[in-house]
Structure 1
Amino acid sequence: MEKKIAIISDIHGNQSALKAVIDDIGPEGKIDHIYCLGDLIGIGYETNEVLDLLFSRGDISFVMGNHDEAILDIIAGREPYSKKREKAHHEWIAAHLDRKFLQRLHAIPTTIEAEYNGKKLLFLHYHLDELGDFFAVDYGPTIEKLDFLYRDSSADIVCFGHHHVIHHFKTKKRLYLNPCSLGCYPKPLAAYAILSIGDHGEIGVTFKEVPYDNKEFLLGYNKLNVPDAEYILKMFHGNQHLQYL
């Protein structure tokens, strides 16, 4: 029987975008599973609303993102990777995080492996070095570089996020897939992907962009005095808020 899974990534504290995608995916049981590729929180400020929605479903598996990790480090009293303005933002997010979510967040792994109809899948937030740390974003990925990074992997499909653009690379060895950022986009659209795997291992990918109303979300950055709001609104949301001022 054909298997269908939804792949979401980089929600970044944007509850209205997440709700649009969850509504588009439909109720539990409509697809086989949802995989979330990290960065549930950070950048956006709707931390608790996002986590409430994600953890309310029983059909979502998660991997740890760099923003999630930094915020948990701050709460635990460890030094995060972030510095200066980004660190101040993470500290603000950490201060507003409902502590009831900590146990679930701490339990999120770095990678997940799964198998559907004979195809092995690897899910992670981004490429990892030998120490388990995230590589810097490669803004010029190629099939040769990706195959080299995963030369020791037995996965047929590698799914990752972090770089907020679609990746759809097919090599002789495997498929590499990034569904794009769900919560950070220069238009009022929320992105995700549906991966289908047929009875005999046939693979199909559908990239989706779901329209949603982001006005209140965008205006909320300045209403709430979210640290680094102007930079975030420009770099991650394309200054869409200016049309509402």
Structure 2
Amino acid sequence: MDKKIAIITDIHGNQSALKAVLDDIDCDPQIEHIYCLGDLVGIGYETNEVLELLVSRSDISFVKGNHDEAILDIIAGREVYSRGAEKKHHQWLATRLDPKYISFLKEIPTTLKANYHEKEMLFVHYHLQEQKKFLSVDKEPTDKKLDEFYQNSTAAIVCFGHHHVIHHFKTKNRLYLNPGALGCNHKPYAPYAILTIAESGATNVCFKEVPYDNEEFLLGYKRLNIPDADYILKVFHGNQHLKNL
């Protein structure tokens, strides 16, 4: 029997986008599990609302992203990777995180493996150095570079996020998949992917973009006086809010 799973990543504190995607996934009873590839929080400000939605379900597995780590580092008093306006943004979010979600975030692993029809899968927020630190984003990824990086991996399928655009590379060695950032888009659409693995081991990827109403979410950046709001609205949301002013 075919195995069908959903891949989501980079929710970035956008509750309305997440709800739209989860509602869409729930319309397909054949999807048996959801894998969330990190950055549940950060950039967007609906931290608690997003976490409330996620922890209410029993069909999602997670890996931790760099923004999730940053919030935890600030709460724990550790040195954080972010600097300047980004650090102020993380600090603002950390002060508003409901403490009941801290243990949930802390327990999320950095990597996760699964096996479907003898296809080993690796889930990670982004490619990791030996020290378990994320590499810098490669803005010109290729199948050859990915094969070289994962040459010692036994995984047949590698799923990741972090770089907010879609990646879909298939080589003789493995499949590489990034469905794109669910919560950060220059259009009012929330992307995710559905991966089907047949008993034969054949794979099929379906990329989906779910429309949703993002007006209130975008206007909330200014209404709440969120640190670095102008930069976030321009770079991560394409200044869509301007048409609503």
- Equivalent position of 1:59 in the other structure: 59
Aligned partners of 1:172, 1:200: CA distance in 2, in Å? 16
Matches within 5 A, 1:72-91: 72-91=72-91
Q: CA deviation at 1:31?
A: 1.4
Aligned partners of 2:244, 2:75: CA distance in 1, in Å? 35
Structure 1 length-normalised TM: 0.99
* Contact persistence 1:28–1:57 (CA under 8 A): no
Matches within 5 A, 1:205-220: 205-220=205-220
Residue by residue, what CA displacement relative to the aligned partner does 1:13-59 show, whole Å, maximum 9, x if unpaired?
A: 00000000000000796411100000000000000000000110000
Opposite residue 145 of structure 1, the aligned amino acid is K
Opposite residue 228 of structure 2, the aligned amino acid is D
Aligned partners of 1:12, 1:77: CA distance in 2, in Å? 22
- Equivalent position of 1:223 in the other structure: 223
- Equivalent position of 1:241 in the other structure: 241
Aligned partners of 2:137, 2:186: CA distance in 1, in Å? 19
Aligned partners of 1:32, 1:155: CA distance in 2, in Å? 21
Structure 1 SS opposite 2:178 = strand
Aligned partners of 1:33, 1:27: CA distance in 2, in Å? 13
Structure 1 SS opposite 2:222 = helix
Opposite residue 209 of structure 1, the aligned amino acid is E
Residue by residue, what CA displacement relative to the aligned partner does 1:80-103 show, whole Å, maximum 9, x if unpaired?
A: 100010000000000000000011
Aligned partners of 1:201, 1:96: CA distance in 2, in Å? 45
Does residue 92 of the first structure (1) align with residue 92 of the second (2)?
yes
- Equivalent position of 1:34 in the other structure: 34
Residue by residue, what CA displacement relative to the aligned partner does 1:139-195 show, whole Å, maximum 9, x if unpaired?
A: 000111101110110000000000000000011100000000000000000000000
Percent identity over paired residues: 69
Structure 2 SS opposite 1:176 = strand
- Equivalent position of 1:4 in the other structure: 4
* Contact persistence 1:119–1:201 (CA under 8 A): yes
Aligned partners of 1:57, 1:27: CA distance in 2, in Å? 15
- Equivalent position of 1:158 in the other structure: 158
Structure 1 SS opposite 2:128 = coil
- Equivalent position of 1:196 in the other structure: 196
Matches within 5 A, 1:40-189: 40-189=40-189
Opposite residue 138 of structure 1, the aligned amino acid is D
Structure 1 SS opposite 2:168 = strand
Opposite residue 76 of structure 1, the aligned amino acid is A
Aligned partners of 1:6, 1:157: CA distance in 2, in Å? 14
Residue by residue, what CA displacement relative to the aligned partner does 1:70-120 show, whole Å, maximum 9, x if unpaired?
A: 010000000110001000000000000000001111000000000001111
Opposite residue 157 of structure 1, the aligned amino acid is I
RMSD over aligned CA atoms reads 0.9
Structure 2 length-normalised TM: 0.99
